[in-house]
Amino acid sequence: MAGVATIEDERAQVRAAVFSHLAGIVLAPTVKALWERGVFEAFEGFSTWIDLDRVLARTSANRGYLRVALRLLAACGWLEQRVEQNGKYSRYRLTTAGRIALEVAPSLYAEIVSFIPKALYLDDFLFGESDEPILPSLRALVQRTHEGWGLSPRPDPIAAAVCQQIRGHLDGIVIAPAMVALARGGVLDKLEHGPVDPGALPGNHDSLMCLLEFLATQGWVTQAHNQIALTPGGRYAAQIASSYGVTVSYLATFEVVSTLLFGDPRIPRLDESGVELLVDRGMNVWGSGGAHRTYFKKVDEIIIEIFNRPLDRQPQGICDMGCGDGSFLEHLYSVVKSRTARGQALDKHPLVLVGVDFNKVARRVAKQTLRRAGISACHVIAGDINRPAQLAGDLEGLGLDIHDLLHVRSFLDHNRPYVPLANYAPGTRKGKSSGSFAHLGQEILPDELEENLVRHLRRWAPYVGRFGLLVLELHTLPPEVTAANLARTSAVAYDGTHGFSDQYLVELPIFLESAREGGLKADERYQAKFPPSELATVSINYFTALTSPDYAI
């Protein structure tokens, strides 16, 4: 048992390091932008609360994104936040940790953020024809991390903890994109299979060795007798390397975070061909795909139960709104085919798959995915999660009834395009979320966001009553909860990436309350949350409409 405890303790330390690295991706550029604009000068000489309006008056910031930024500082324990008058009025105060952090962090963050433009193309430098443009930067940064970034030991425990936190953030700007590049380039896979001669590893040798030396500072890599090997902690870090992918995919967003905060927030999000400019979607899919494997076991339970019912009580097929590359639909088809009674009768009762996505690039890839899987009874169409009635009409044109399908979606409801509310008087409802929400820099107050979510789910309720709606969703945590559990959650990174990209994370209890108010009931047998505690940032729910016939067994 002692050995098991030691292994789990080591893995917990690795996860804590990963969470710190991910927080650095969002915090370092944000703090740099706030510092250069003089935001922190508003807190100098004050031991009391500072109004958001005071900060806005000094900086002319975009109010919505400024609230996102200040909430990030609260989530990492550097600010206290008070939100009053139904979210309309917010105040902030530096904590002791925040005062220490702002004495040393901004200049160091400014130094490391200069690496982000190179980190965006780390794959190219590492595996391309030449790594010369990046080598001087990498060598200098390796030296800086060996020096502990110049942060001398502090006898005060709070100061020591803050310095350790900052070092993790600084390391993360290099280590997070490095882990993604090494994983996607096959380097970590080779290292996982045992000690390797560096010359046998793919990639440009000098840059590769710099990155491996960076990992050695984490205790993840050792080198002896001209052999590179992963430590036990490094092997676990390699196994969960995809955890870095989603946050790193937003590096382009944080390269322009100063513009989002203080410039014109309507900077282009898509190019002429529909390719996203502020997020690397391919990397995002790769990173989220690694995490999704954790959730598939619970999803599979639900799918197996539904498609083991009597045939006359089964859906005709599955409709995935926001299908992305089609891999989720492919997985669900495989589960039905190999593990259910319906799978034994597909010749007589084909399983119709419908992939729906707003993005035409995603639709093209989804078609290829389903075609390669040999799935013939499928359709991939354009659609908008905000318009289920339009989807119903489009399905009718294909000879399908929207009510005859099981509806699924993964991590999409928080990423729905924001449509301002009609016929809503601000303050009508009491906002409960601690979140900060923005659309193109404009502030969205919690009560309006929650009303928007309720109406959104209510629009879907009439269409999912027969066979239900299976939802995987991402959530935020109250900032004080995050700040007290930084070694146990990646909520700081989620709040940063999603807050600055106009996505709307609410706490899990609020999401469930909104679903009930919107006319959906969750089947408690199939509810799951990850982690299974008050720190849950991911949930799985199988909803049916409150007024629907009960098809559950």
Task: State mean pLDDT over 252-281.
Answer: 93
Confidence of residue 552 (pLDDT cuts 50, 70, 90): very low
Task: State mean pLDDT over 411-428.
Answer: 93
Tell me how far the alpha carbon of residue 160 is from its chain's centroid: 29
Task: State mean pLDDT over 411-437.
Answer: 94
* 36 closest CA partner among 106, 99, 115, 97: 106
Task: State mean pLDDT over 44-64.
Answer: 89
Task: State mean pLDDT over 267-296.
Answer: 86
* 505 closest CA partner among 471, 538, 468, 527: 538
pLDDT cut 70: percent of the chain above it = 98
Task: State mean pLDDT over 312-338.
Answer: 95
Q: Are 235 and 192 in contact (CB under 8 A)?
A: yes
330-353 burial: b if 16+ Cβ within 10 Å, else e: bbbbebbeeebebbeeeeeeebbb
Alpha carbon distance 140, 118 (integer Å): 14
Confidence of residue 272 (pLDDT cuts 50, 70, 90): confident
Q: Two tokens at 11?
A: 């893995």
* 480 closest CA partner among 63, 45, 74, 208: 74
Paired sense of beta strands 538-545 and 520-522, if any: antiparallel
Please report the sign of the dihedral spanned by the C-alpha atoms of residue 417, residue 418, residue 419, residue 421. positive
Reply yes or no on whether the pLDDT at 442 is more than 70: yes
pTM over 0.85: yes
pLDDT cut 90: percent of the chain above it = 85
Alpha carbon distance 207, 177 (integer Å): 13
Give the Cα-Cα-Cα angle 171, 177, 61 (nearest 5 degrees): 75
Reply yes or no on whether the pLDDT at 392 is more than 80: yes
Reply yes or no on whether the pLDDT at 68 is more than 60: yes
Paired sense of beta strands 528-530 and 79-84, if any: unpaired
Q: Which residues contact 367 (CB under 8 A, 6 or more apart)?
A: 326, 355, 380
Confidence of residue 46 (pLDDT cuts 50, 70, 90): low
Reply yes or no on whether the pLDDT at 53 is more than 70: yes
Reply yes or no on whether the pLDDT at 84 is more than 80: yes
Q: Are 21 and 66 in contact (CB under 8 A)?
A: no
Q: Two tokens at 29?
A: 């550029």
Confidence of residue 4 (pLDDT cuts 50, 70, 90): low
Task: State mean pLDDT over 110-129.
Answer: 94
Confidence of residue 407 (pLDDT cuts 50, 70, 90): very high
Which pLDDT score, from 0 to 100, does residue 319 have? 98
One-letter amino acid identity for 108? L
Residues counted in the chain = 553
Indicate the burial class of 45 (C-beta count within 10 angstroms; 0-12, 13-18, 19 or more). Answer: exposed
Reply yes or no on whether the pLDDT at 551 is more than 80: no
Confidence of residue 3 (pLDDT cuts 50, 70, 90): low
Reply yes or no on whether the pLDDT at 65 is more than 70: yes
Tell me how far the alpha carbon of residue 45 is from its chain's centroid: 36
CB atoms closer than 10 angstroms to residue 510 = 21
- The model's pLDDT over 492-534, given as tens digits with 9 standing for 90+, comes to 999 999 999 999 999 999 999 999 999 999 999 999 999 999 9
Which pLDDT score, from 0 to 100, does residue 45 have? 67
Which pLDDT score, from 0 to 100, does residue 142 have? 94
Please, what's the largest Cα pairwise distance for the chain? 76
Q: Are 395 and 315 in contact (CB under 8 A)?
A: no
* 284 closest CA partner among 361, 206, 340, 220: 361
Q: Two tokens at 91?
A: 């105040």
Helix (H) / strand (E) containing 105: helix 96-113
Which pLDDT score, from 0 to 100, does residue 486 have? 98
Reply yes or no on whether the pLDDT at 129 is more than 90: no
Chain mean pLDDT for the chain: 94
Task: State mean pLDDT over 186-198.
Answer: 93
Confidence of residue 553 (pLDDT cuts 50, 70, 90): very low
Tokens 């513009």 appear where?
A: 259
